[in-house]
């Protein structure tokens, strides 16, 4: 063991049952990659790809945000007996050397997040960088992400786009970020909690103008998937109607059209 590195905890799963019916590290579909970043569904569990299932089944260790949530996903996929270790924003720094230690002992490690693609407004980037820097191979099983799913369903031109993730919570910082984005020719993608949606759409309407095209994508791939599109002021009105009816629950993404009135070369930085 590397001096000073605490080993991965033996908790979170029946570590004695290292493999299961669905596969083992030897028949991994990832060319023997050491760390595999695996995308998981953003709502509909049937969106878990066959290669994701095979990779999770063939991994010795699965690093995940919430072990209970990932256990449910594994159960849905018919995978049992996997060793799960938690990896979230607050422990990524301490967990990373432990995972590198596990890789050094020949384990294949899969990285998942609670939903979607790890590293997209989720932990994982620090681990990937450290694992690659330590000389191990990192591979990916791509798949669902609220980022690409919302763009795909938006109807807003997104040949170029800017992913903002979550806006600053503080009103003044949020509004100045939105003012900057309003001059961008690229579409903007913003993750937002439903409880803040109406307030953020008010700020968007003020910063981008009430006629800028906006799409809100809520609960994508889930039973109550709800997507509405229009000018910023219309989309805001519809959000208020939904809030009044108690329908603003779940998770949502806001896509805003770029400033297409601005002249300039396609090679402009914004
Ligand atoms: N890594 C994830 C991904 O690739 O989709 C994103 C994680 S981020 C912490 C969670 C945010 O993604 C939510 O607050 C919401 O903005 C968005 N999101 C996740 N699932 C969604 C869904 N089914 N429908 C709409 N937005 C969703």
The per-residue pLDDT for range 87-143, each reduced to its tens digit, is 999 999 999 999 999 999 999 999 999 999 999 999 999 999 999 999 999 999 999
Q: What is the pLDDT of residues 161-202, one digit of tens each?
A: 999 999 999 889 999 999 999 999 999 999 999 999 999 999
Segment 211-223 mean pLDDT? 98
> What per-residue confidence (pLDDT) applies to 5?
74
Q: Does domain 146-256 bear CATH number 3.30.950.10?
A: yes
Quickly name the fold that domain 25-141 has. Cobalt-precorrin-4 Transmethylase; domain 1 (3.40.1010)
**Given a cut of 50, is residue 17 above it in pLDDT?**
no
pTM of the model: 0.90
Give the pLDDT confidence score for residue 10 in this predicted structure: 52
Q: What is the pLDDT of residue 16?
A: 31
Closest ligand 1 atom number to CA of residue 193: 14
Give ligand 1 pocket residues (Cβ under 6 A).
42-43, 113, 115-117, 120-122, 145-147, 191-192, 217-222, 251-253
Task: Identify the pLDDT of residue 120.
Answer: 98
Domain residues of the chain, as ranges?
25-141, 146-256
HEC string of the chain equals CCCCCCCCCCCCCCCCCCCECCECHHHCCCCCCCEEEECECCCCHHHCCHHHHHHHHHCCEEEECCHHHHHHHHHHCCCCCCEEEECCCCCHHHHHHHHHHHHHCCCCEEECCCCECCCCCCCCHHHHHHHHHCCCCEEEECCCCHHHHHHHHHCCCCCCEEEEEECCCCHHHHHHHHHHHHCCCCEEEEEECHHHHHHHHHHHHHHHCCCCEEEEEECCCCCCCEEEEEEHHHHHHHHHHHHHCCCCCCCEEEEECCCCCCCCCCCCCC
Mutate to test the pocket of ligand 1, among 191, 196, 254 (most ligand atoms within 8 A of CB): 191
Ligand 1 atom at shortest distance from the alpha carbon of 218: 25
């Amino acid at each position: 063991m590397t001096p000073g590195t605490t080993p991965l905890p033996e908790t979170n799963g029946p570590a004695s049952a290292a493999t299961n019916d669905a596969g083992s590290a030897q028949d991994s579909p990832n060319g023997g990659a050491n760390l595999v970043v695996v995308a998981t569904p953003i709502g509909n569990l049937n969106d878990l790809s066959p290669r994701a299932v095979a990779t999770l089944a063939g991994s010795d260790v699965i690093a995940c945000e919430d072990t209970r949530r990932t256990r449910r996903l594994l159960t849905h996929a018919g995978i049992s007996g996997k060793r799960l270790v938690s990896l979230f924003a607050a422990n990524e720094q301490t967990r990373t050397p432990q995972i590198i230690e596990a890789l050094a002992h020949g384990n294949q490690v899969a990285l998942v997040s609670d939903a979607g693609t790890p590293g997209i407004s989720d932990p994982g980037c620090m681990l990937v960088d450290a694992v690659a820097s330590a000389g191990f191979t990192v591979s990916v099983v791509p798949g669902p992400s609220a980022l690409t799913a919302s763009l795909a369903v938006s109807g807003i031109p997104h040949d170029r786009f800017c992913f903002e993730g979550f806006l600053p919570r503080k009103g003044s910082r949020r509004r100045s970020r939105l003012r900057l984005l309003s001059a961008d020719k690229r579409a903007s993608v913003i993750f937002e909690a439903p409880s803040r949606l109406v307030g953020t759409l008010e700020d968007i309407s003020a910063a981008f103008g009430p006629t800028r095209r906006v799409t809100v994508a809520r609960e994508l791939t889930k039973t109550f998937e709800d997507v509405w599109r229009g000018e910023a002021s219309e989309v805001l009105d519809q959000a208020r109607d939904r809030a009044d009816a108690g329908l603003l629950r779940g998770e949502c993404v806001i896509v805003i059209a770029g400033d297409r009135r601005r002249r300039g070369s396609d090679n402009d930085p914004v």
